[in-house]
Amino acid sequence: MLQLTVLGLFLTCAVSLSSSAVILENGMPILWAQTASQVTDLPIQNGVLTPDPWHFLHCMSLYRLMIAATDPFMGSMGTNATDSPLWGLPLQLGWMLTSGRLADPTGATTCGLQTGDPMCISTQSWWGCVTYFVSALPFLSAAQQGFMGAGVQVQMQLHTGVEDYCTTYADCAARYPDVMSKWDAFFQGLKAATESPLPENEKKDTLLGLYWAAQMASTYASAACNTKQSHYSSEEVSFANSWLNSAEYVAAAHFQSNLEKSTQFISPLPSRVLQEGDRAPNIADLSQEENHTLYIFSWMKNINTLLGGSMVRLWRSAMCSVTTREKGSEMLEQLLLNPSFASNSFLSIVTGMTTSC
């Protein structure tokens, strides 16, 4: 069963927040070794799996089990064991933990604090709420599609304050039909890919398209979490919305969010919750890389807002082929990771790319 021998590591993570958020441990997402390596490691009641999506190790376990179950179908992604696009999700969850974003933002409880229950995901956390839609829902779909074993039934545990969350496949499919149908399409697409005659790069692009369609459906459904943003500073809310907006770009580019690339993108995210008065790129206790990332996220969101949403539409229209999507992924890496890559270069290149479609 899941082990909770993690307080020491959590404290280590907490004291290092001033440099950057810890997201890797021995080359894997943090606390990976403490998570479920097989389905039977999760709680079971009356023959039904009952994971707790508001417990960090359980939530991380959902990702580990999905990655393991789908890996045999990920051959088109590459030869490395960490090439699956699903790796971005556990890395993202680890960043949320070590940056304090899964803790109770109201301060009313010690949920998520190293002085309380460090593995608790607060039901008041906006970030925790969004995570539910990209962990519990895809796992329920994966189980429904047979990836967790024949006939395996799953019901997510409920907590006080989140009674209105869907907890079973049937419940989620009724409330969020678009989300569940897109995750179903992704998992079904993985099986179909093994028989597909398409070249590997086209097969890979197709699967990434299905994956990001499902991811974005989950992200849109997480609008149900919006009231929880009232617990945060205006700077944190602005960053959160910019973070959501950035997903539009990586999704349209069919970005391969494997372990290596996701680490590059997530490592420079802000290592603490933003407070009133934080102004990138001049936040003193954040690194140059974190300041740059915050600045670029804000720039992308502001440009899109100023253009009435046309920046995202322009980007989507430019991502019209396997070739332009590959170029788009490279451009996003340059924009976020290379401070010398001017934002105006990004605009002009995107504008030029749309003419080739």
Predicted pLDDT of residue 161? 74
Q: How far apart are CA 339 and CA 324, in angstroms?
A: 23
Quick one: tokens of 254? 């069919």
The residue among 12, 17, 9, 13 whose CA lies nearest residue 272 is 17
Predicted pLDDT of residue 124? 96
Which positions of the chain have pLDDT values less than 70?
Answer: 1-20, 342-344
Q: How far apart are CA 59 and CA 135, in angstroms?
A: 7
Sign of CA dihedral 54, 12, 263, 243: positive
pLDDT tens across 74-98, in order?
999 999 999 999 999 999 999 999 9
The CB density around residue 354, as the number of other CB atoms within 10 Å, is 16
Q: How far apart are CA 302 and CA 235, in angstroms?
A: 14
The residue among 242, 255, 175, 188 whose CA lies nearest residue 215 is 255
Predicted pLDDT of residue 279? 94
Predicted pLDDT of residue 86? 98
Predicted pLDDT of residue 22? 82
Rounded to a whole number of angstroms, the distance between the first and last alpha carbons of the chain is 52
Predicted pLDDT of residue 14? 37
pLDDT tens across 193-227, in order?
989 999 999 999 999 999 999 999 999 999 999 99
pLDDT tens across 98-140, in order?
999 999 999 999 999 988 999 999 999 999 999 999 999 999 9
pTM score, whole prediction: 0.92
- Residue 154, SS3 per DSSP: strand
Please state the domain extents for the chain: 20-227, 232-357
Quick one: tokens of 88? 């971005």
